[in-house]
Amino acid sequence: MKKDSKKKATIYDLSVLSGSSASTVSAVLNGTWRKRRIKESTAELIRGLAEEHQYTANQQARGLRSSRSGLIGLMLPVYDTRYFSSMAQTFEAHVRQRGQWPIVVSSLRDPEEERQMAESLVSYNIDQLFICGATDPDGVHAVCEAAGLKHINIDLPGTKVASVVSDNYQGGRILTEAIIRQFSADDPLKPQELFLFGGKDDHASRERIRGFKDMKRELLGGDFDASIQPTGYSPNMARIAFENFFEKNTRLPRALFVNSSINFEGLLRFMAAHPTETFSDLVVGCFDYDPFASFLPFPVLMMRQDVEGMITKAFELIEQPHAMPQIHLLPPQLVSPRTALPGPLDGIKDAG
Amino acid sequence: MKKDSKKKATIYDLSVLSGSSASTVSAVLNGTWRKRRIKESTAELIRGLAEEHQYTANQQARGLRSSRSGLIGLMLPVYDTRYFSSMAQTFEAHVRQRGQWPIVVSSLRDPEEERQMAESLVSYNIDQLFICGATDPDGVHAVCEAAGLKHINIDLPGTKVASVVSDNYQGGRILTEAIIRQFSADDPLKPQELFLFGGKDDHASRERIRGFKDMKRELLGGDFDASIQPTGYSPNMARIAFENFFEKNTRLPRALFVNSSINFEGLLRFMAAHPTETFSDLVVGCFDYDPFASFLPFPVLMMRQDVEGMITKAFELIEQPHAMPQIHLLPPQLVSPRTALPGPLDGIKDAG
DNA sequence: ATTATTTGCACCATCGATTGTGCAACTTAG
DNA sequence: CTAAGTTGCACAATCGATGGTGCAAATAAT
């Protein structure tokens, strides 16, 4: 409107325009003006000018003074799986609802990266940090602790502050049972026909594997440790594992427990190289939910982790002075084959 | 190390410790010290102390002074599709490689939200803004322009600054042709057997629809406008459209052009309510790529948009003084059924 | 009409880093 | 031995908002 709309208005500009002091303007615009006994009419005037000149507070200045920023951080291993992207989406909604700003970064599962990122986020004076799926949560904790930054672990637990994670053990049991029950009584699954692929030596994998083993033993008997093939969280390592198995046994197992959707992508790569008949007799259980995966040409059982619940719980816990670094377990949900669940996108109005 | 490791070290702390002035410390640590003729030995000393005390610059103070922040913003409609999550992942990698920090927000396709978000990002003094898939890019532009913030459009073009978008018209043509060629010469697809579902009245949809119509007319002849069913970018609206079609015609079309993976999720929901036989004769082309979708029990052709290329191009263009608000087109890639392409995750080291 | 309160606001230091400017101490030239 | 650089750094203003403190003017109490 004014000639100099190139630069943003500050409280000093409004101070001149209104004839009040900068501190009065500040108080009016940040809501502390009643406490400072500013006249209603003065406040009104200033609010009007602020509106007219499109004033918005400089968050850097505000943050510098108050040593807060309004930013809440989420550290993710990666974005590009439905699990983590829905984590980001859900996190964003919660943060914005609190009038704060999400800043999401991905650490690529590298402990050193994780720590450096935390350092850097600290230098922006972020108010809280949600550490999701970190390889070394306690390393990140040390950084946060030193800076007095509130934080919490999600997905993978740490030992220093509270953690919110899926009940991977129970989930593993339930998924394993569901896989086994897919087979009819007249041609039941045999112990050596059920394998677990994927995951690495992290808490989630360990618990899932434990659940898998326990349930497998209970239902099928026989202890068959060779049925575990950890491949890391990498599509290609998983693909190679499937290829190797296939070469050695001239076929896939009848039933697969796949440890994550990332590993499932490894199975896709394997599938691309083999005719569809190879998979006619296959049952897959995957510890993650992806709507498209649920409709593949063979029965796919999935475990959907309760992302909404985890984020909600994490927001509750992060406020509390950490009495004890407890691990809070949330049950994941078994999803039958050919199921399309609503997701975070469904809340969005989009008339088209 | 020191007693008071609870608060972060500042240049003033290091100033005292080193016996130099704060400005000298600042210069040493931000790299401008040669220009200021600081002695090598002084620099060395200060660098040592900085290391020892784990100094990291307060970005808010730095930003306040220099009116920059080191933050680069990406505004996304949503996170939770493979297209947009890979956009976020790719963006992140590029930004971090430049030594800056990504701040990603989702605007949920609401023009008012988009503008407010831009306002708010401005108040953090972000250095650049990538506007991806905005419903009203020019509205966001106005906000950026007023604040002197460099910005660029991705995915959906605006008229005020440069835009980088997929060649939706050519992509639409190619996908349509590929769908039609899936059918053999002895039982070829007829014009009234090919429908387009999804999308709304945005640039991308319009172009894809134009490509669809043109190619359909060229190959199949007949102009059949009823074959377009826009449903918005919503899974449920798409599901309802499929249901309606099915009720009216007692079957699905033999071939579908689905406008986005979000709409494809609507098809999944429809599938969940119908037996597999319903889809035995179906061919689907989808304008988006999702690895799991590629392996569904019927032929699925997909268009993968060149996310890496778009981000790269956008970084090139955003620096340039906007001579002309040109639209830069990037060809998307046709993906055959049962194809598992590598993605941004493949770059990650993860031995497992 | 005084004194005691309350109201309404201005002043100023502060957060931590950046940067233009000034000026000793030292070196080189003449 | 003096004048003219050069080197190496300190000083102080500044970015924009916040919040403690102090003080007039208006109002109430006596």
**A197-225: pLDDT as tens digits:** 999 999 999 999 999 999 999 999 876 66
Same domain, B52 and B154: no
pLDDT of residue A109 exceeding 60, the answer is yes
Same domain, B27 and B124: no
Which residue among A237, A268, A339 sits closest to B295, beta carbon to beta carbon? A268
Question: What CA–CA distance (Å, rounded) separates B150 from B129?
Answer: 6
Position B77 scores a pLDDT of: 95
- Cβ-based contacts of B348 with chain A (< 8 Å): 78, 108-109, 234
Least reliable range by pLDDT among A289-303, A317-331, B57-71: A317-331
> What's residue A226's pLDDT?
67
If asked whether residues B224 and B287 sit together in one domain, one would say yes
pLDDT of B2 > 60? The answer is no
Nucleotides of D under 7 A from a protein CB: 7-12, 14-21
CB contact under 8 A, A80 and B58: no
Q: How distant is the Cα of B161 from the closest Cα of chain A, in angstroms?
A: 17
> Which residues lie below 8 Å from residue A337, measured CB to CB, with a gap of 6+?
A294, A295, A299, A300, A301
Do A141 and A221 reside in the same domain of the chain?
A: no
Contacts with A6 from chain B: Cβ below 8 Å: 146, 148
Whether B19 and B5 have beta carbons less than 8 Å apart is answered as no
Scan residues 225-244 of B and list those with Cβ closer than 8 Å to A.
230-237
Question: What is the biggest distance separating any 2 CA atoms in chain A, rounded to whole angstroms?
Answer: 89
Question: What is the crossing angle of helices B203-220 and B168-181, to 10°?
Answer: 40
- Residue owning tokens 């991806």: B132
- Kindly report the backbone phi and psi dihedral angles of residue B304, in degrees, each rounded to the nearest multiple of 5, phi listed first: -95, 120
| Cβ contact B85–A79 (<8 Å) | yes
Given a contact cutoff of 8 angstroms between Cβ atoms, the answer to whether B133 and B154 are in contact is: yes
* CA–C1' B38–D8 (A): 6
The mean pLDDT of A63-86, rounded to a whole number, is: 94
Mean pLDDT of B274-286: 95
pLDDT score for A339? 98
* B46-CA/C23-C1' distance, Å: 23
Q: What is the mean pLDDT of chain B?
A: 93
Q: Give the CATH number, domain containing residue B39.
A: 1.10.260
- Asked if residue B218 belongs to a domain, the reply is yes
Domain shared by B202 and B238, yes or no = yes
| Residue at B183: amino acid letter | F
CA distance A45 to chain B (A): 22
Residue B160 CA to residue B162 CA, distance in Å, equals: 7
Q: What is the mean pLDDT of residues B241-264?
A: 96
Which residues, including other chains, have CB under 8 Å from residue B44's CB and lie 6 or more apart?
A: none
Question: Do A124 and B101 count as a contact with CB atoms less than 8 A apart?
Answer: yes
Same domain, B141 and B26: no
Q: Distance (Å, rounded) from C-alpha A63 to C-alpha A70?
A: 8
Is A22's CB less than 7 Å from nucleic acid strand D?
A: yes
Give the count of beta carbons closer than 10 Å to the beta carbon of residue A299. Answer: 18
Q: What is the pLDDT of residue A142?
A: 95
Asked if pLDDT for residue B215 goes beyond 50, the answer is yes
- Residue B40, nucleotide of least CA–C1' distance: D8
Instruction: Say whether both A76 and A199 belong to one domain.
Output: no
Interface test with B, best of A1, A3, A59, A65 (most B CBs within 10 A): A59
pLDDT beyond 90 at B221: no
Place of tokens 């989420």: A74
Query: Hey, of B2, B119, B124, B236, which one would you mutate to test binding to chain A, going by the most A CBs within 10 A of its CB?
Result: B124
Q: Is the CB of B54 under 7 A from strand C?
A: no
CB within 8 Å: A56 and B230: no
* Mean pLDDT to the nearest integer, A293-311: 98
Band of the pLDDT at A229, cuts 50, 70, 90?
confident
B186, burial (CB in 10 Å: exposed 0-12, middle 13-18, buried 19+): exposed
By the 10 Å C-beta count (0-12 exposed, 13-18 middle, 19+ buried), A231 is classed as buried
pLDDT at A349: 63
Residue that is last in its domain, among A265, A280, A304: A304
Q: What is the pLDDT of residues A275-285, one digit of tens each?
A: 999 999 999 99
B230-252 tens-digit pLDDT: 899 999 999 999 999 999 999 99
pLDDT at A332 (0 to 100): 98
For chain B, say whether A304 makes contact (Cβ under 8 Å).
no
Residues B76, B105 contacting (CB under 8 angstroms):
yes
Q: Which token pair is A271? A: 């599938």
8 Å CB contact of A230 and B349: no
**Domain membership of residue A38 as a residue range:** 11-57
Q: Domain boundary residue among B22, B37, B57? A: B57
| Set of chain B residues whose Cβ sits within 8 Å of the Cβ of A268 | 291-292, 294-295, 340
CB B216 within 8 A of CB B177: no
With beta carbons less than 8 A apart as the criterion, state whether B46 and B100 touch.
no
Of the partner residues B88, B296, B340, the one whose CB lies closest to the CB of residue A79: B88
**Chain A residues with CB inside 8 Å of B86's CB?**
79-80
The Cα B103–Cα A69 span in angstroms is 14
| pLDDT tens column, A118-176 | 999 999 999 999 999 999 999 999 999 999 999 999 999 999 999 999 999 999 999 99
Residue A351: inside a domain, yes or no?
A: no
DSSP notation for A150-201: EEEEESS--SSS-EEEE-HHHHHHHHHHHHHHTS-TTSPPPGGGEEEE-B-S
Q: Determine, yes or no, domain membership for B228.
A: yes
Q: Is the CB of B30 under 7 A from strand C?
A: yes
Residue A351: is its pLDDT beyond 50? no
**CA→C1' distance for A29 and C3 (Å):** 37
For residues A6 and A62, which has the higher predicted lDDT (pLDDT)? A62
CA distance B170 to chain A (A): 23
Evaluate whether residue A317 is within a structural domain. Answer: no
H or E stretch at B166: strand B163-166
**A319 vs A63, higher pLDDT:** A63
Do B99 and B215 share a structural domain? no
Same domain, yes or no, for B181 and B241?
yes
Q: Does A95 touch chain B (CB under 8 A)?
A: no
Q: What is the pLDDT of residue B1?
A: 37
B64: CB within 7 A of chain D nucleic strand: yes
- What strand order describes the sheet that includes A283-286? A228-229, A194-197, A255-258, A283-286, A300-304, A333-335
Q: Do B234 and A64 touch (CB under 8 A)?
A: no
The pair of structure tokens assigned to B71 is 């933050």
Distance A37 CA to C4 C1' (A): 20
Together in a domain, B89 and B16: no
Same domain for B51 and B105, yes or no, is no
Does the pLDDT of residue A190 top 50, yes or no?
A: yes
Amino acid B6: pLDDT = 63
β-pair partners for B194: B255
Q: Which residue has the higher pLDDT, B114 or A344?
A: B114
A61/B59 touch (CB, cutoff 8 Å), yes or no: no
Tell me the pLDDT tens digit for each residue of B130-162.
999 999 999 999 999 999 999 999 999 999 999
CATH value at residue B290: 3.40.50.2300
Q: What is the pLDDT of residue B332?
A: 98
Q: Is the pLDDT of residue A324 over 90?
A: no
DSSP at A199: B
Taking a C-beta distance cutoff of 8 angstroms, is the pair A238, A231 a contact?
yes
Q: Is residue A79 part of a domain?
A: yes
pLDDT band at B112 (very low <50, low <70, confident <90, very high): very high
Q: Is residue B91 part of a domain?
A: yes
Kindly state whether residue B335 falls inside one of the protein's structural domains: no
Domain count, chain A: 3
Name, in order, each residue with C-beta under 8 angstroms of A154's C-beta and a sequence gap of 6 or more: A87, A130, A131, A132, A133, A163, A164, A165, A310, A311, A314
| Among A118, A133, A161, residue at a domain's last position | A161
Chain centroid offset of residue B78 CA: 9
pLDDT at B171 over 50: yes
Are A200 and A289 members of one domain?
yes
Please check whether residue B52 lies inside any domain of the structure. Answer: yes
Q: What are phi and psi of B158, to 5 degrees?
A: -115, 180
8-state DSSP, B8: -
**B37 CB neighbours strand D below 7 A:** yes
Q: Which two tokens stand for residue B200?
A: 């709304």
Q: Do B295 and A294 touch (CB under 8 A)?
A: no
Percent of chain A with pLDDT over 90: 88
Phi, psi angles (nearest 5°) of residue A102: -80, 140
A8/B contact by beta carbon, under 8 A: yes
